[in-house]
Homo-oligomer: A and B are copies of this chain.
């Protein structure tokens, strides 16, 4: 357990990989984000942290709306394509089948879980903005459920890691155990 200090440019940890949707110049646009988390239970609030230089920030500031879409592993090549291109150079509006909920923000049909959000607050940091958003609705594909309940193994969520200069996508692995149960065995 010998410890050394780590260069903090990158942090080697397990991040969710999502697609952020916005409307820019009246067209849907998409970017990849891995700095995203739910932050409040009721109302359902989320944060996404987005580099200030991203075109997406223009859409978020203009419309005060955005979406968070969770791709399955089957979409990974298209996901990475979004990540290596900018809406400044290419039109991403026809990359996916899009649907709309109650807000004018694009949701991705091919994704497993899509959330439409209103911006509650922008928190400006040195190179990123934290977007604090209130989820208005969440949508899930019925094919990702088992007995009416979302099934993570069917959803095949993508996990992202950035280790020094090497960034990798991963599948969800085997089940380790049930939370709020394993600890009881430890207690004994």
Contacts and interface: CB of A to CB of B under 8 A. Distances in A.
Interface of A: 1-6, 8-9, 11-16, 35-45, 47, 49, 51, 70, 73, 76-85, 97, 99, 109-110, 113-115, 121, 123, 125-128, 130, 132, 135, 137-143, 149-152, 155, 157-164, 166-187
B39 A140 contact: no
Given A73-B176, A126-B43, A173-B173, A12 B140 contact: yes
B143 A2 contact: yes
A158 B172 CA distance: 10
A80 B186 contact: yes
Nearest to A6: B138
Contacts of A149: 163-164, 166
A33 to B, nearest CB: 10
A179 B174 contact: no
B5 A137 contact: yes
A136 to B, nearest CB: 9
Nearest to A138: B6
Residue from the set A6, A42, A43, A99 with the largest chain B CB neighbour count within 10 Å: A6
A169 B58 CA distance: 37
A160 B4 CA distance: 27
Given A3-B139, A168-B177, A157 B83 contact: no
Given A3-B139, A139-B5, A168 B174 contact: no
Nearest to A125: B40
A107 to B, nearest CB: 8
A159 B97 CA distance: 29
